[in-house]
Amino acid sequence: MTPETLAEKVLSATRAAFEALGLDGAVLPSRTAVERPRDPKHGDYASNIALQTAKKAGTNPRALAEQIAGILAAADGVAKVDIAGPGFLNITLDAAAAGEIAGKIVAAGPSYGTNGSMEGVYANLEFVSANPTGPIHAGGTRWAALGDALARIMRASGAKLTTEYYVNDAGAQIDHFASSLLARAKGEPTPENGYVGAYIDEIAADVLKRRPDALDAPEPLEVFRTVGLELMLDDIKGTLADFGTHFDVFFSENDLHQRGELDAAVQRLSELGHVYEADGAVWLRTTDFGDDKDRVLKSSKGAWTYFAADCAYYLDKRERGFEKLVLMLGADHHGYVGRMQAISRAFGDEPGTLEILIGQFVNLLSNGEPVRLSKRAGTIITLNDVVEAVGVDAARYALTRYSADSAIDLDIDLWTKHGNENPVYYVQYAHSRTNGIIRTATERGVALGDGYDASLLSHPLETELLKVLAEFPAVVATAAELREPHRIARYAEELAGAWHRFQSSGCRVAPGHDEDPTPVNVARLWLATASRIVFANALGLLGVSAPERM
RNA sequence: GCCUCAGUAGCUCAGCUGGAUAGAGCACCGGACUUCUAAUCCGAUGGUCGCAGGUUCGAAUCCUGCCUGGGGCACCA
Q: By C-alpha distance, which of A248, A227, A226 is closest to A237?
A: A248
Q: Is there a single domain that holds both residue A431 and residue A455?
A: yes
In the structure, how far is the CA atom of residue A335 from the C1' atom of nucleotide B8, in angstroms?
Answer: 29
Cβ of residue A279 near strand B, that is under 7 Å? Answer: yes
pLDDT of residue A416: 87
In the structure, how far is the CA atom of residue A407 from the C1' atom of nucleotide B68, in angstroms?
Answer: 16
CATH number of the domain bearing residue A41: 3.30.1360.70
Q: Is there a single domain that holds both residue A227 and residue A367?
A: yes
pLDDT of residue A549: 87
Give the tens place of pLDDT for each residue, A456-479.
998 989 999 999 999 999 999 999
Cβ of residue A294 near strand B, that is under 7 Å? Answer: no
Which window residues (162-191, chain A) lie with Cβ within 7 Å of strand B?
Answer: 168, 170-174
Residue A410 has phi, psi (to 5 degrees) of -90, 105
Q: By C-alpha distance, which of A290, A302, A208 is closest to A263?
A: A302
pLDDT of residue A41: 78
pLDDT of residue A367: 77
Cβ of residue A131 near strand B, that is under 7 Å? Answer: yes
Q: Does residue A345 belong to any structural domain of this protein?
A: no
Please tell me which residue, A319 or A290, carries the higher pLDDT value: A319
Q: Is there a single domain that holds both residue A66 and residue A146?
A: no
Q: Mean pLDDT across the stretch A229-248?
A: 96
Cβ of residue A407 near strand B, that is under 7 Å? Answer: yes
Q: Does residue A98 belong to any structural domain of this protein?
A: no
Cβ of residue A39 near strand B, that is under 7 Å? Answer: yes
Q: Is there a single domain that holds both residue A478 and residue A516?
A: yes
Q: Which of A397, A416, A435 is the last residue of a domain?
A: A416
Cβ of residue A454 near strand B, that is under 7 Å? Answer: no
Give the tens place of pLDDT for each residue, A100-150.
999 999 999 999 999 999 999 999 999 999 999 999 988 899 999 999 999
Dihedral of CA atoms A80, A81, A83, A84 in degrees, nearest 10, equals 60
Q: Is there a single domain that holds both residue A237 and residue A364?
A: yes
Q: Does residue A157 belong to any structural domain of this protein?
A: yes
Cβ of residue A537 near strand B, that is under 7 Å? Answer: no
In the structure, how far is the CA atom of residue A362 from the C1' atom of nucleotide B59, in angstroms?
Answer: 32
In the structure, how far is the CA atom of residue A380 from the C1' atom of nucleotide B65, in angstroms?
Answer: 40
Give the tens place of pLDDT for each residue, A61-98.
888 999 999 999 999 999 999 988 788 899 999 989 99
Q: Does residue A461 belong to any structural domain of this protein?
A: yes
Report ipTM (2 d.p.): 0.93
Q: Is there a single domain that holds both residue A444 and residue A402?
A: no
How far, in whole angstroms, is CA A59 from its chain's centroid? 42
Give the tens place of pLDDT for each residue, A514-537.
888 999 999 999 999 999 999 999
Closest C1' nucleotide to A82's CA? B20
Give the tens place of pLDDT for each residue, A298-310.
999 999 999 999 9
Judge contact between A442 and A512, C-beta under 8 A: no
Percent of chain A past pLDDT 70, that is, above it, reads 99
Q: Is there a single domain that holds both residue A176 and residue A247?
A: yes
Q: Mean pLDDT across the stretch A394-406?
A: 94
Give the tens place of pLDDT for each residue, A378-396.
667 889 999 998 999 999 9
Give the tens place of pLDDT for each residue, A473-502.
999 999 999 999 999 999 999 999 999 999
Closest C1' nucleotide to A429's CA? B39
Closest C1' nucleotide to A513's CA? B35
Give the tens place of pLDDT for each residue, A327-344.
999 988 888 999 999 999
Q: Does residue A285 belong to any structural domain of this protein?
A: no
Q: Does residue A329 belong to any structural domain of this protein?
A: no
Q: Is there a single domain that holds both residue A452 and residue A427?
A: yes
Cβ of residue A283 near strand B, that is under 7 Å? Answer: no
Q: Does residue A303 belong to any structural domain of this protein?
A: no
Tell me the Cα Rg of chain A.
29
Give the tens place of pLDDT for each residue, A414-443.
888 887 788 999 999 999 999 999 999 999
pLDDT of residue A377: 67
Q: Is there a single domain that holds both residue A170 and residue A216?
A: yes
Cβ of residue A365 near strand B, that is under 7 Å? Answer: no
Percent of chain A past pLDDT 90, that is, above it, reads 73
In the structure, how far is the CA atom of residue A399 from the C1' atom of nucleotide B48, in angstroms?
Answer: 33
Q: Kindly report the average pLDDT of chain A as a whole number.
A: 92
Distances (CA, A) of A146 to A343, A402, A433: 25, 10, 27
pLDDT of residue A51: 87
Split at pLDDT 50, 70, 90, the class of A368 is confident
Closest C1' nucleotide to A548's CA? B37
Q: Which of A74, A93, A112 is the last residue of a domain?
A: A93
pLDDT of residue A172: 87
Q: Is there a single domain that holds both residue A495 and residue A409?
A: no
In the structure, how far is the CA atom of residue A125 from the C1' atom of nucleotide B21, in angstroms?
Answer: 43
In the structure, how far is the CA atom of residue A504 from the C1' atom of nucleotide B31, in angstroms?
Answer: 15
Distance CA A252, CA A254 (A): 5
Q: Is the pLDDT of residue A233 over 90?
A: yes
CATH number of the domain bearing residue A134: 3.40.50.620
In the structure, how far is the CA atom of residue A60 from the C1' atom of nucleotide B57, in angstroms?
Answer: 10
Closest C1' nucleotide to A502's CA? B41
Please tell me which residue, A368 or A284, carries the higher pLDDT value: A284
Q: Which of A376, A397, A416 is the last residue of a domain?
A: A416
Q: Is the pLDDT of residue A354 over 80?
A: yes
- Beta partners for residue A80, in sequence order: A92
Number of domains in chain A: 3
Q: Mean pLDDT across the stretch A349-374?
A: 86
Query: How many CA atoms does the CB half-sphere of A106 hold within 13 Å?
Result: 19
In the structure, how far is the CA atom of residue A498 from the C1' atom of nucleotide B54, in angstroms?
Answer: 41
In the structure, how far is the CA atom of residue A357 from the C1' atom of nucleotide B49, in angstroms?
Answer: 26
Cβ of residue A496 near strand B, that is under 7 Å? Answer: yes
Lowest mean pLDDT among A58-62, A217-221, A371-375, A417-421: A371-375
- Beta partners for residue A114, in sequence order: A112
Phi-psi region of A161 (alpha: psi -120 to 50; beta: other; left: phi over 0): beta
Split at pLDDT 50, 70, 90, the class of A175 is very high
* Domain, as residue range, for A157: 127-258+360-416
In the structure, how far is the CA atom of residue A361 from the C1' atom of nucleotide B75, in angstroms?
Answer: 29
In the structure, how far is the CA atom of residue A365 from the C1' atom of nucleotide B7, in angstroms?
Answer: 21
Give the tens place of pLDDT for each residue, A35-52.
888 777 788 999 989 988
Exposed e or buried b per residue across A385-407, where buried means at least 16 C-beta atoms within 10 angstroms of its C-beta: bbbebbebbbbbbbbbbbebeee
Cβ of residue A514 near strand B, that is under 7 Å? Answer: no
Q: Does residue A287 belong to any structural domain of this protein?
A: no
Closest C1' nucleotide to A304's CA? B75
In the structure, how far is the CA atom of residue A411 from the C1' atom of nucleotide B28, in angstroms?
Answer: 22
Element (H, E) at A283: strand A281-284
Instruction: Name residues whose C-beta falls within 8 Å of residue A544's C-beta, 6 or more positions apart in sequence.
Output: A393, A396, A397, A424, A427, A428
Q: Is there a single domain that holds both residue A385 and residue A474?
A: no
Q: Is there a single domain that holds both residue A246 and residue A369?
A: yes
